[in-house]
Structure 1
Amino acid sequence: MLNRRDFLKSAAVAAAGTGALPGLIGNAMAATAKARHHVVIVGGGYGGATAAKYLRMWGKGAVDVTLIERNTSFVSCPISNLVIGGVKQIEDITVSYDNLKSKWGVKLITDEATAIDLDKKTVTTAKHGAIAWDRLILSPGIDLLPGRIGGLEGNQERIPHAWKAGPQTVLLRKQLEAMPDGGVFAMHIPRAPYRCPPGPYERACLVANYLREAKPKSKVLVLDANGEIQSKKALFTQAFERYGALIEYVPNSALQSVDATTLTAELEFDSIKADVLNVIPPMRAGNIAATTGLPLVNDAWVDVDWLTLEAKGLPGVHVLGDALFPAPAMPKSGHMANQHAKVAAAAILNLFEGLPPNPTPVVMNTCYSFVDSKNVIHVASVHQFDAAKKQPMPVEGAGGVSAMANDLEGKSALAWARNIWADMLA
């Protein structure tokens, strides 16, 4: 078990593994024999599962934690492109929630949160009714908005997104396997911000890697609504170039509509017919956050107090991960959601003790991207809270990107996945 002293000592290893946060806890993490508090968490992804474990661990069992999660197991979005590319199986990115229950004493409810009453401090679920909370953590991830693209609503079995790991990941892999040699795999990337900035470009590489080996007459067509590659631009440009005619990248390709029968993508000035059409729709904070009346920026992302991760103007309601309106240069990533969870868990425990949150939290991010089955590139960053700007800011000179793709980073990427899954769930 990681105690307060060990946690502070481990801060320096954050970027290499799970990402501990230096100076996070402040001076008040010891549990006391005071009245018990109850934290309810909605969403068991990188943010919610981490928060559940760390509240129990740092609180030394003195805080009751209920985690509401619709899925019976955790399935990781990071690494899921390897499943689509045929390098991994869905079982390789699936982890049980059992340790949260048996080892850490988290009460896990497999259910759907349907409504939140901020006045009564309750979460209503589809099967378990209303659950009361002293503090609430929402880690709902993203909801996709297929209705904003003509013809896509209701057709995402025919035109999958695979932007939430699970059945859609397997579906897209099967479509790719069934595609004829000489076929076109066309994918569309929405305008930023979206979950996992480098993810679509990694997917293009891994699909091209599969096609090069199995269906070399085929082609990957990357239709990007953005004007340029959104993450690791130089490195992905090099990767695309190494695939030659297998990958065609087309920026400024805003998607207007699709035809699910013919698998046709209608752009502003062009019409593209594909054999496999992978459309990542526009997205916003998960529906439970968007419909609860939380403060939204651009009607999409939750605005938070970065010292506690509480929604602006709603004390006691904390929001983590991809659902947030990002601070400058802060990606929507699994690693960052894990870091948000630790900031929130530490702040909540301090607040339960009547103490302020740590005034200078630091969060870190490392994101690995496969450009083929073995070679990987990464980007890393460190973000320090700036009191004047009231938000985390990138630390100059910290982090950076790979010099080039290499197989050593491929080993590091898989180790990162194992480490962060263990940090959340072991």
Structure 2
Amino acid sequence: MQGLAGLGAGVLSGCAGLTIREGSKAHVVVVGGGFGGATAAKYLRLLDANIQVTLIEPKAKYITCPGSNWLFAGLSNLDQLTVDYQSLQDRYGVKLLVDSVSSLDAAQRRLRLADGRSVSYDRLILSPGIDFRWDAIAGYDQSAAEQFPHAWQAGPQTTLLARQLQEMPDGGVVLMAVPADPYRCPPGPYERASMMAYWLRQHKPRSKILILDAKRSFSKQALFEAGWTKHYGFGTTNSLIEWHSLADNPLLELNQQSRVLTSEFGDHFHGDVLNIIPPQTAAGIAVRSGLADASGWCPVQLLTGRSLFDEFIHVIGDAANYAPIPKSAFAANSEAKACALAVTSLINQKPVAEPHWLNTCYSLIAPEHGISVAGVYKLDAAAAITTVKGAGGVSVRADVEAAALEADYARTVYRSLVADTFR
């Protein structure tokens, strides 16, 4: 690959900017090293090695949210879910800055980092992920999450929740509070409940998981419920999993001392383990920089991923509004590729090709029982995203052989997605 030399003046201390190497067409900075940002950085270099790419990510190693639910069933661990950025640097010439962005000066096209450095850009791709709405349930805030984990960002919260599950007495109750749409990984709570139930069935079979859902229905619901019926007695008095819609009776308050969640109509839910997943918004840097609208998410021009509020900033992944595409790692990877192609075209002053996007989401109900949903998306005549008719869909076979194949596919797709993004 051409153009893998250093950054000329490089990263200077204090207020100095990160300069563009002589001969470079442009300097593109990518903020966020998850499935969206890492993919964008890699594919920018693949598409045009003369574009200088800098990836800013606060962690030297990244723990993937996909696959993290498997930890609750003993099928994975954090080491197996951890990736680094060495290949992006060594193979593709991406410059990595391990730091966080404290502020964005869009007028000057300059980022200020937490350590005081500043980085200038010609175009910026933001893929910062999510933040949480801590005001949704009284008594549940960021400090309370250290006792009642959300585990919606893989890492210490995941291991904390798994440890609480293991320490819970047999006959104990797990309360899982699930937010309304949109949020990261729509089927994620239900796969988590499945993986927890699988472990409980073996080690604490008298226990129960209560899902308290802010929605009336959820992704792949019929498939999940069929699997829960098969494996966990769903619908019977001895079911390991119960699902309750609280769409008309939302949760309002957490009493930390008594471990009780109270709803609007005064219903009280007591749990031994509380997994509270808060409503979500775009990450703080996007909101503080004025790139989100009243919904809390970042609207974009769908053809290019460009922010509707800034000509030189593009937003992808969970922080952006690409509805009806769900917020998933696979979708972020797809959005990143389309955005990288658009940015490369803009830099080279070429027409931007009309994008198509893909999403595939596999979930495990048991180690040998997988289900999936897939979608293919394009722009319609009004420049809105629409599904491609006849493409995608959900699992249609329910026999043992098909379920086992889907479980194998779930693991294979995870490995392929990680390789495509980080290696």
2:372 aligns with one of 373, 378, 393: 378
Query: Would you say the 8 A contact 1:47–1:334 is kept in 2?
Result: yes
The 3-state SS of whatever aligns with 1:171 is helix
Q: How far off is 1:355 after superposition? A: 1.4
Aligned length: 389
Is the counterpart of residue 86 in structure 1 residue 68 in structure 2? Answer: no
**Which residue of the partner structure matches residue 338 of structure 1?**
333
Out of 292, 305, 309, the residue aligned to residue 305 of structure 2 is 309
Q: Does 1:419 align with 2:399?
A: no
Deviation of 1:236 (Å): 1.2
Deviation at 1:84, TM superposition (A): 2.4
Question: 1:34 Cα deviation (Å)?
Answer: 6.0
Please give the alpha-carbon distance, in whole angstroms, between the structure 1 residues aligned to 2:67 and 2:24: 42
SS at match of 1:303: strand
Note if 1:198 corresponds to 2:191: no
1:7-406 → structure 2 map (5 Å cutoff): 35-59=24-48, 61-153=49-141, 154-228=143-217, 230-242=218-230, 243-244=232-233, 245-252=239-246, 254-269=250-265, 270-296=267-293, 298-328=294-324, 330-358=325-353, 360-386=354-380, 388-403=381-396, 404=398, 406=403
- Secondary structure of 1:148 counterpart: coil
Contact 1:85 1:173 in 2 (8 A): no
Q: Does the aligned pair in 2 maintain the 1:377–1:406 contact within 8 Å?
A: yes
Aligned partners of 1:68, 1:167: CA distance in 2, in Å? 22
- Whose RCO is larger (CA < 8 A, sep 6+)? 1
Instruction: Identify if the C-alpha distance between structure 1 residues 178 and 295 changes in structure 2 by more than 3 Å, giving closer, same or farther.
Output: closer
How far apart, in 1, do the equivalents of 2:316 and 2:120 lie?
A: 20
TM-score by length of 2: 0.89
One-letter code aligned to 2:282: A
- Aligned partner of 1:221: which letter? L
Cα pair 1:41 1:138 within 8 Å, conserved: yes
Partners of 1:422 and 1:87 lie apart in 2 by: 20
CA distance in 2, matches of 1:85, 1:128: 43
CA offset at residue 204 of structure 1?
0.8
Shift, 1:35, TM fit: 4.3
Question: Deviation of residue 114 (structure 1)?
Answer: 1.0
Amino acid at match of 1:172: L
- Look up the match of 1:410: 407
Cα RMSD, aligned residues only: 1.4
Once the two structures are TM-superposed, the CA of residue 299 in structure 1 deviates from its matched residue by 3.2
Q: Distance in 2 between matches of 1:362 and 1:300?
A: 25
Scaled by the length of structure 1, the TM-score of the pair is 0.89
Aligned partners of 2:88 and 2:413: how far apart in 1?
20
Q: Any conservation in 2 of the 1:66–1:109 contact (CA below 8 Å)?
A: yes
Distance 1:262 1:56 in 2: 54
Segments of structure 2 that go 5 or more residues without pairing to the other structure are 2-21, 234-238
Deviation at 1:391, TM superposition (A): 2.2
Residues of 1 paired with 2:167 and 2:356: CA distance? 46
Shift of 1:94: 1.0
